[in-house]
Amino acid sequence: MKKLSAVILNIIPILLMIGLIPLVADDYALTLIYIAIITISLTIKRTPNDFVMLILGFFTMLIAEYLFVSTGVEIFLRNTLLGLMPLWLPFLWAYGFIAIKRSIEILTNN
């Protein structure tokens, strides 16, 4: 039960970020809010390689989303980044990578 609680605590920032999408129409403001949430989350708790995962998640998903949009697999109505996707999307994915890494660490530690 303790592991489940720890995993849930790690995904709260992601749920908050997703919940803000329909509430904040300005992609630039939402991106700044996401940066603030990520900064606060990493200030509260930072584990080894969090920054590496943040950068890896940002660029990996930026490239993946670019490929998805350019091939027509995905279409976004909000396209403030490269005219293809929302500016905030790579930041959401980047923090998602951190949450996944932390959850795996929690679940695999005895």
DSSP of 17-28: HHHHTTT---HH
Q: Tens digits of per-residue pLDDT, 3-33?
A: 888 889 999 999 999 999 999 999 999 999 9
Q: Tens digits of per-residue pLDDT, 25-81?
A: 999 999 999 999 999 999 999 988 999 999 999 999 999 999 999 999 999 989 899
Q: At what angle do helices 50-70 and 89-108 cross, to 10 degrees?
A: 130
Amino acid making up residue 93: W
Handedness of CA 42, 46, 47, 50 (dihedral sign): positive
The per-residue pLDDT of the chain, averaged, comes to 93
Q: Tens digits of per-residue pLDDT, 83-106?
A: 889 999 999 999 999 999 999 998
| Per-residue model confidence (pLDDT) at position 1 | 83
Q: How far apart are CA 90 and CA 110, in angstroms?
A: 32
